[in-house]
Structure 1
Amino acid sequence: MSIKFSANITMMFSELPTLAERYGAAKAAGFKYVESAFPYFEPLESLRDAKEKAGVEQIVINTWPGDLKKGDVGLAALPDRQQEFESKLDLAIKTAKALNCKRIHVMAGMKPDNCNEAEMESTYIKNVTMAAKKFQPEGITCLIEPLNSRITAPRYFLTDVNKAVEIIKKINLPNLKLQFDFFHIQIMEGNLTKTLEKFLPYVGHIQIAQVPDRGEPDRQGEINFPYVFDLLRKLNYDGFVGLEYKPRGNTLDGLKWIKEYGLEV
């Protein structure tokens, strides 16, 4: 069984200044599938046209992040920004439809200094439920993802994969799934084999990067990716694997790990 790799063009091909240009670069590198974090800061028509011209499939986008310059990383768990979350949810759906993207990751957001955990959890569950229900008629899967709080996002609301699955079970909608990122889960949880086996029925998308530098999934880090790819085959995982990593140098040079592992894009 071949693994379907999705190039994250927010992080990869950053040699080119725009997302629109990176669609073609991903295709030229052999990728059939791409994903991007926040396709909201370039003209949507330009992104749609570039994607169609390149002939690639858009796998995932995130919801509106908020003000990135002020440290926002999503809005879904923030009680005082409910109206903004709702209005930007429609933008995410419009963007996904234009890019023919069938998965949207609903980002939770960062805990404020005066954090009320219970209120944030209640808001998050309410907003994820709303999002999943709004996505259903469009055939879009709603994803939630725990991020690590030790390196990447110290104040992110959702950091525990066990808690994420509890929320998925509680909401209990068929199009609500887990985005399982090996980078974040290795840092927070470890025990990757058993964690993946346990939660695979809830997984709607997988992402990878090496730990601790979030570079290429090669041998320069904590995770044994040849073992991980064998595990995915063993478990008959037939979804996509997003390459959400920051190339250590030139993107194309960094892709040598694919051939070294006997894989292809």
Structure 2
Amino acid sequence: MSTTFDRRTAIKGILAGTVTFGIPSDLLAFADSPKAFKLNLNTLKGKINHSVARWCFSDFDIETLCVEAKKIGITGIDLVGPNDWPILKKHNLVSTMCNGAELNLVDGFNDQKFHEQLIKNYTEMIPLVAKAGYKNLICFSGNKRGKTDEEGWNNCVLGLQKLIPIAEKHQVTLVMELLNSKIDHKDYQCDKTSWGVELAKRINSENFKLLYDIYHMQIDEGDVIRTIRENHKYIAHYHTGGVPGRNEIDETQELNYSTIMKAIAATGFTGFVGQEFIPKQKDKIASLKKAIEICDI
């Protein structure tokens, strides 16, 4: 992943509303080309529900991303907050993994000093998610900062259990993302599937699950397909990304995403798989189209 453009800085810019993106000239050329991609949603096989992470395509304004994503057959956008929900609704797309209640990726539920603000944020956001008709709201463990696993679990349970009754009432699922601590998110605590699953068992609610990021977990633990098969009941959402580098998920990287999608589908999963890779190719929409083709098993 580039050190000059990563998820943390992209989301910060989107949430802060400090950047206004125009339509890049290469996208306009793509749209005007007689070879422009016009795949109809009905041509997809339907075994996987497809979404795309907003931050990875922040070169495009949200309206443009919605238009192009829908042409490909994508039905949802990940990591979009309330300000952009009306645009998604305009295009009949779903906010598949809502955000906006978290503080950031490093200050999370594993530290009690953040609980007061987090509980306030999530208490306000959960009803908004439900009112909009959406189901998933992202959350993070935060960094260890010297905490043991047991301390992290205990603190997360203490904070999250105050929110679970609200989530259950509104039928919203709080989804904690698994992030690698080896390369991209040093010291992040929920960096292994086993850690997240243990937390889910302690919380013991269908309204708390995990976001299994395939890219991150390939880096920190590998054994992707077996892990999915054994822990799928704790997983609400998946993210993709080419390893190494979090770029295109094609033959330039090490994971066989078609086979991984078959394993996900075999578990009976009915949620979304979100494309969360940073395109290296000039034609970013073509890269997204190819990723959907790879995952359309």
Aligning the two structures, in what range does the TM-score lie when normalised by the shorter sequence? 0.7 to 0.9
The structure with the larger Rg is: 2
- 1:11 and 2:44 correspond: no
CA RMSD in angstroms, aligned pairs only: 2.4
- Name the CA shift for 1:208/1:252 in 2 (closer, same or farther; >3 Å): same
Work out the CA distance in 2 between the residues paired with 1:49 and 1:159: 33
Work out the CA distance in 2 between the residues paired with 1:7 and 1:116: 33
Query: 1:23 — aligned with what?
Result: 66
The Cα offsets for residues 168-209 of structure 1, whole Å up to 9 and x where unpaired, read as 111111222222111111111111121111101222111111
Work out the CA distance in 2 between the residues paired with 1:88 and 1:79: 15
- Name the CA shift for 1:25/1:168 in 2 (closer, same or farther; >3 Å): same
The Cα offsets for residues 47-77 of structure 1, whole Å up to 9 and x where unpaired, read as 13211111101111235342x5xxx534211
Secondary structure in 2 matching 1:155:
coil
Work out the CA distance in 2 between the residues paired with 1:9 and 1:222: 24
Secondary structure in 2 matching 1:241:
strand
Which residue of 185, 208, 213 maps to 2:240? 208
The answer on whether the counterparts of 2:258 and 2:295 sit within 8 Å (CA) in structure 1 is: no
Which residue of 88, 93, 99 maps to 1:62? 99
Show the 5 A alignment for 1:77-156.
Answer: 77-97=110-130, 99-112=132-145, 115-117=146-148, 118-156=150-188
| Identical residues among aligned pairs (%) | 22
Q: Which amino acid aligns with 1:101?
A: Y
- Name the CA shift for 1:160/1:63 in 2 (closer, same or farther; >3 Å): farther
The answer on whether the counterparts of 1:7 and 1:33 sit within 8 Å (CA) in structure 2 is: yes
Which residue of 248, 259, 277 maps to 1:245? 277
The answer on whether the counterparts of 2:174 and 2:207 sit within 8 Å (CA) in structure 1 is: yes
TM-score w.r.t. length of structure 2: 0.75
Q: Which amino acid aligns with 2:114?
A: R
Secondary structure in 1 matching 2:142:
coil
The Cα offsets for residues 86-114 of structure 1, whole Å up to 9 and x where unpaired, read as 111134325423543201122111233xx
Secondary structure in 2 matching 1:201:
helix
TM-score w.r.t. length of structure 1: 0.84
Larger mean CA deviation between 193-202 and 225-234 belongs to: 225-234
**Deviation of 1:25 (Å):** 3.9
- Name the CA shift for 1:262/1:183 in 2 (closer, same or farther; >3 Å): closer
- Name the CA shift for 1:122/1:220 in 2 (closer, same or farther; >3 Å): same
Work out the CA distance in 2 between the residues paired with 1:120 and 1:35: 27
Secondary structure in 2 matching 1:58:
strand
Query: 1:236 — aligned with what?
Result: 268
Q: Which has the higher contact order (CA 8 A, sep 6+)?
A: 1
Larger mean CA deviation between 133-142 and 119-128 belongs to: 119-128
Query: 2:9 — aligned with what?
Result: none
**Deviation of 1:248 (Å):** 1.7
Structure 2: gaps of 5 or more residues: 1-45
The answer on whether the counterparts of 1:8 and 1:36 sit within 8 Å (CA) in structure 2 is: yes
The answer on whether the counterparts of 1:3 and 1:238 sit within 8 Å (CA) in structure 2 is: yes
- Name the CA shift for 1:215/1:99 in 2 (closer, same or farther; >3 Å): farther
The answer on whether the counterparts of 1:58 and 1:100 sit within 8 Å (CA) in structure 2 is: no
**Deviation of 1:151 (Å):** 1.2
Q: Which amino acid aligns with 1:246?
A: I
Work out the CA distance in 1 between the residues paired with 2:295 and 2:209: 30
Query: 2:75 — aligned with what?
Result: 32
- Name the CA shift for 1:48/1:120 in 2 (closer, same or farther; >3 Å): same
Structure 1: gaps of 5 or more residues: none
The Cα offsets for residues 6-26 of structure 1, whole Å up to 9 and x where unpaired, read as 1111212x222x445533443
- Name the CA shift for 1:215/1:176 in 2 (closer, same or farther; >3 Å): same
- 1:254 and 2:297 correspond: no
Work out the CA distance in 2 between the residues paired with 1:158 and 1:262: 26
- Name the CA shift for 1:260/1:120 in 2 (closer, same or farther; >3 Å): closer
Secondary structure in 1 matching 2:90:
helix
